Amino acid sequence: MDAMSSAELDRRATPARFTRAETLRLQTAHAAGSAAALASRLARRGSGASIRGKVMERLDPRSLEKLLQGRRIAMVSGTNGKTTTTHLLAAALRAGLGAAADRLVTNADGANLHYGIASALGQKPDADIAVLETDERVVADVVRMGRPEVMVLLNFSRDQLDRHHEITSMGRAWRDALEAAGADGPVVVASAEEPLIVWACRGARKVIWVDTQSVWNADSALCPECGARIERVEADTDSSTPGRWWCTGCSLAKPTPTWRVSNEVIVDPEGTIWHPKLQVPGQFNVSNAACALAAADLMGVGTSDAIRGMRTVTSPAGRFATATFGDTEARLMLAKNPAGWAEALPILTCDDVVLAIDSVAADGKDVSWLWDVQFEQLVGKNVVVTGPRCGDLSVRLLYAGVEHRVQPDLSQAMRMHSGRIDVLSTYTPFQKLRKLGGLA
Containing H/E element for 352? strand 352-356
Q: How far apart (Å, rounded) are the C-alpha atoms in residues 139 and 141?
A: 6
Catalytic residue among 366, 372, 392, 409: 366
Residue 223 in marked binding region: yes
Residue 250 in marked binding region: yes
Q: How far apart (Å, rounded) are the C-alpha atoms in residues 371 and 355?
A: 15
Please provide the distance, in angstroms rounded to a whole number, between the alpha carbons at the two ends of the chain: 38
Q: Which of 176, 181, 184, 207 is nearest to 194 (CA)?
A: 207
Which long-range CB contacts under 8 A does 35-41 form with residues at least 24 apart? Answer: 37/119
The reply to whether 60 belongs to the active site is no
Residues in the chain: 440
Residue 350 in marked binding region: no
In this structure, the number of other CB atoms found within 10 A of the CB of residue 398 comes to: 12
Pairing of strands 328-334, 322-325: antiparallel
CB contact set of 57 (below 8 Å; sequence gap of 6+): 29, 63, 64, 114, 115, 118
Which long-range CB contacts under 8 A does 173-176 form with residues at least 24 apart? Answer: 173/139, 173/140, 174/136, 174/139, 174/140, 174/200, 174/203, 175/199, 175/200, 175/201, 175/202, 175/203, 176/140, 176/203
- Give whole-number Cα distances, 3 to 294, 303, 318, in Å: 14, 9, 29
Q: Which of 237, 37, 72 is nearest to 147 (CA)?
A: 72
∠ at Cα 82 (76, 87), nearest 5°? Answer: 85
Active site residue ranges: 366
Annotated binding site: 223, 226, 247, 250
Annotated binding site for Zn(2+): 223, 226, 247, 250
